[in-house]
Amino acid sequence: RSKSFDRDSYDSGDWYNGLDWSYQRSGFGIGLPLADKNQENYPLMQPLLADPTLQPSQADIMANANVFREWLQIRQSSPLFRLQTAADVQARLAFHNTGSDQLGGLIVMSLLDAGLPVNLDPDVDMIVVLFNATTEPVTFAPEILQALELSGEFALHPVLASSSDAIVQGASYDAADRSFTVPGRTTAVFVLPEGSISVAVAVEEPVAAATPEATVAPDVAPTDEPSKANSPSPTPRPEATAAAPEEAETAEAGGSGLVWGIVVGVLAALGAAYLLLRRRLNQA
Is the per-residue pLDDT at 266 higher than 60? no
Top mean-pLDDT range of 162-176, 213-227, 253-267: 162-176
pLDDT of 231 reads 46
Top CATH class, 85-198: mainly beta
pLDDT of 248 reads 44
* 24, 136, 162 from 207: Cα distances, Å: 78, 58, 56
DSSP state of 206: P
Confidence at 201, pLDDT banded by 50, 70, 90:
very low
What is the per-residue pLDDT across 131-173, written as a single tens digit (0 to 9) for each?
999 999 999 999 999 888 899 999 999 999 999 999 999 999 9
- pTM of the full structure: 0.65
What is the per-residue pLDDT across 18-53, written as a single tens digit (0 to 9) for each?
889 999 999 999 999 999 999 999 999 999 999 999
* Residue 191, φ and ψ in degrees, nearest 5: -120, 135
Average pLDDT over residues 212-239: 50
β-bridge partners, 124: 193
pLDDT of 198 reads 83
Domain positions in the chain are 85-198
pLDDT of 276 reads 55
Average pLDDT over residues 235-246: 48
pLDDT of 77 reads 98
β-bridge partners, 126: 112, 192
The stretches of 93-197 forming alpha helices (DSSP H) are 143-146, 158-161
* 7, 41, 50, 67 from 36: Cα distances, Å: 11, 11, 21, 32
Distance in angstroms (rounded) separating the CA atoms of residues 187 and 47: 29
Confidence at 2, pLDDT banded by 50, 70, 90:
confident
Is the per-residue pLDDT at 283 higher than 80? no
Confidence at 260, pLDDT banded by 50, 70, 90:
low
SS3 139: strand
What is the per-residue pLDDT across 107-121, written as a single tens digit (0 to 9) for each?
999 999 999 999 999
